Amino acid sequence: MRLPEDLAALKRAQPAQAAAMLRDGHTAAEVVAAINATNLDLHYQVLAEVLARQATPPPVPFALLAMGSLGRGESLLAPDQDNGFILEDYPDEAHGAVDAWFRPFAAELCAALAETGFVLCPGGVMAMNPLWRKTRSQWARQFELWAQRRSGAALLFADIFFDMRVVAGEAGWGQALSRHVVGVLEQHPALLAALAAQDSRFGVGLTFWGGFADDEPGPGTRTDLKLHGLMPLVAAARLSALAAGVTESATPARLRGLAARGQLGAAEAARLEAAFATLLDCVLRQQLADHAAGLRPGNLVDTAALPAPRRQELRAALRAVRGFAKSSFAGLTGQLW
């Protein structure tokens, strides 16, 4: 299907808008919030466009979920798709008709999002995959099964699901699922321990001697500040927040929620928020430089090109992330990392 050109144009305009906001003195966090808001609005508009082109209305009410960085409010310039559907419960005998409507609709939606500029998720975390298209009751039961089984796939999928938010449809469904997740975790704390053991494998982008890690294949010495900076912080904040009953999905909000519950000192929470802002700024500016050079924006940051004061700030940020991640994962697993 062909979408209105203005939708894809909005996505293509994001690098120029982000660069202009930075020049005007906005912080990276403010720029990322604007990017994320646009991305959410694009999902909403694409959904409405695809829905309007259907020959018949949906057989049951549904909601569109965003997960991953978009769900947290932290998407940068080149996010892939992480989405799903919550469907209203329906009788088993209606499944054939319901699925016959939603299966092609979900595939059309994901294709339309890709046309807009959101590449297909390589891991299949999309509404076109039946795993990510369930009724309200099925989602509740699915998370219970993930908590009980704790297989490699269950851990991966549960981790993705934690960052969900409703983009369109009944927002209360997402809130109810979040409350259900907190209740399940209270009954199955071993899930958080297993996730912490898995996430403890994230290292930060510093060498033993305090230099920046080389994550660039072949020639070059760039550091992947998403994999070895943002992700350890995001994972530690997510699991610690869930263990404390914090239901917010944004990383800074999770840190503040931990501080409000006395699980994190106010000074450390502020230091970690500053570290998050520093990492966002470094990745965002590198993505803009990549885009200006005709490259697809990525997460490999040329730390050698940063001014000396910025490198010092980045080292401090990574050290703060490393300390928080180690203590968080150790507290959840009972092991020292």
pLDDT score of 149: 87
Q: Is the pLDDT of residue 228 over 60?
A: yes
What phi and psi, each to the nearest 5 degrees, are found at residue 87?
-105, 150
pLDDT score of 265: 95
Return the axis-axis angle of helices 266-292 and 251-260, rounded to nearest 10°.
180
- List, as one string, the DSSP characters of 14-37: HHHHHHHHHHTT--HHHHHHHHHH
Query: What's the pLDDT tens digit per position in 59-83?
Result: 999 999 999 999 999 999 988 999 9
What mean pLDDT is reported for the chain? Answer: 93
Q: Which of 323, 303, 79 has its CA nearest to residue 212?
A: 303
Q: Which of 70, 274, 249 has its CA nearest to residue 162?
A: 249
Q: Please give the model's pTM, rounded to 2 decimal places.
A: 0.92
- Read off the pLDDT band of 200 (50, 70, 90): confident
Query: What's the pLDDT tens digit per position in 277-324?
Result: 999 999 999 999 999 999 989 899 999 999 999 999 999 999 999 999
Query: What's the pLDDT tens digit per position in 258-278?
Result: 999 999 999 999 999 999 999
The CATH class for the domain spanning 1-187 reads alpha beta
- Read off the pLDDT band of 212 (50, 70, 90): very high
Query: What's the pLDDT tens digit per position in 12-61?
Result: 999 999 999 999 999 999 999 999 999 999 999 999 999 999 999 999 99
